[in-house]
Structure 1
């Protein structure tokens, strides 16, 4: 089942990612210690919640999948197209590097990112045993962060694009994501003849389908295996943080992705 419950936490997992090879989870907002308006499993450290709450919430997430917090590798997400490939965790007392996609082929590393409407995109290449994760808001989407991630997996790990599995996680859906002409024009420049599949015009504004846009960009990059969660964060603020639906007064949900060590499969 895509929604898993463990240790009082609920998280989404992609069915196409093999359970015996990959540790994964995109966590709902339930089961943490943060008070309102961040209630309760907030992983965002820059929105007013206390550091102690965020650290405890992070501990609970890692504990739920039996991963040590010290295995974490995360970045300062800045809506870029920068990809960091890592062979070691980020020491918890060191500053974050800026990037919006991360990748590894080391089973002792747990990739970790934070979201609240932007699209979590997971990647897994089973032959080379590589996992990656990308953060795709509208800026990252039009800059084609997903294709940049694929290229990094190919360049660093010799991944075969036809072997890559991609998952598009819970994020704001096409019925709730309104954008202006400037964003619409940038989408048109990227998708050209396929723009009509992702943009709907409405009284001088547009509704944008980030799920379909990233699916098309993944397909253009050569990815054949794509799973879409189809869960709208703005529709379900009881389960997910939504920057749009909650007018910015909200938290961030966490996402983790890691390889299972051979002995744990």
Structure 2
């Protein structure tokens, strides 16, 4: 089963990654935050008490056997910039602005927050590298997964055929209506491939983030891909969804670390 529980926390784990990697995408269950962020809110910029967010983050790290001070996270900006985390982020320093983060250091725990966008986890078992990318419609359009694969190749010497990727819980195509300007940009960028990324129903257009990123991963040479197929907007008992909850909600988190 992809869902697991530990100390009241409920989280999703990919089957595709080896036991050399600690990895989890946490649901909203098992935290201390009140409504509308109930309860495991991990986002510090959505109006929740920072003390609650900090307590939730510590709870997540401890549940996975990771030291809270091992964290390296980023400030998401819907781009394709990469942070190569050689060490934990000094907690007295602000997070760098980026949407991709990698490490080959077992003493670093990568951490990223989401509210409908796609968490995409990476592992190269040969080079012993892990990473997390953040892909909303804008990052998907800009090619964040292609940038991530190229970053693994250029920085660590990874062969795309060795890379394992997991596309995590996020808003599904049935709930992700987009406007004509987004449709036009995808059609211009991806040509006929956009037909697999977009759906039209009753005169409205919907974007499939899972298909869009799967296609781009395959084009980058990554064949080992697992798609969770879990829609955040469909399962509000488990997930925060910025769109389904009209912005009044929290953020769930993805954590990844190499086993020492």
Report the Cα offset of residue 186 of structure 1: 1.4
Secondary structure of the equivalent of 2:102? strand
TM-score by length of 2: 0.98
Count of aligned pairs: 260
Residue equivalent to 2:226: 227
Residue equivalent to 1:190: 189
Write the distance in 1 (CA, Å) between the matches of 2:2 and 2:190: 30
Write the distance in 2 (CA, Å) between the matches of 1:167 and 1:117: 16
Write the distance in 1 (CA, Å) between the matches of 2:190 and 2:2: 30
Residue equivalent to 2:12: 12
Write the distance in 2 (CA, Å) between the matches of 1:164 and 1:188: 28
Secondary structure of the equivalent of 1:123? strand
RMSD over aligned CA atoms reads 0.8
Write the distance in 2 (CA, Å) between the matches of 1:77 and 1:195: 25
Deviations along 1:97-138, whole A, 9 cap, x unmatched? 100000011111000000010000000000000001000000
Deviations along 1:169-225, whole A, 9 cap, x unmatched? 000001000000111111112321122212112354311110000000101111010
Residue equivalent to 2:166: 167
TM-score by length of 1: 0.96
Gapped regions of structure 1 (runs ≥ 5) = none
Range moving further from structure 2, 92-101 or 30-39 = 92-101
8 Å CA contact retained: 1:73, 1:89: yes
Write the distance in 2 (CA, Å) between the matches of 1:129 and 1:55: 29
Write the distance in 2 (CA, Å) between the matches of 1:188 and 1:83: 26
Residue equivalent to 1:111: 110
Residue equivalent to 2:59: 60
Write the distance in 1 (CA, Å) between the matches of 2:183 and 2:203: 11
Write the distance in 2 (CA, Å) between the matches of 1:219 and 1:175: 23
Report the Cα offset of residue 65 of structure 1: 0.7
Q: Which runs of 4+ in 1 moved over 3 A?
A: none
Where do 1:63-212 residues align within 5 Å?
63-212=62-211
Secondary structure of the equivalent of 2:153? helix
Secondary structure of the equivalent of 1:175? helix
8 Å CA contact retained: 1:181, 1:204: no
Residue equivalent to 1:245: 244
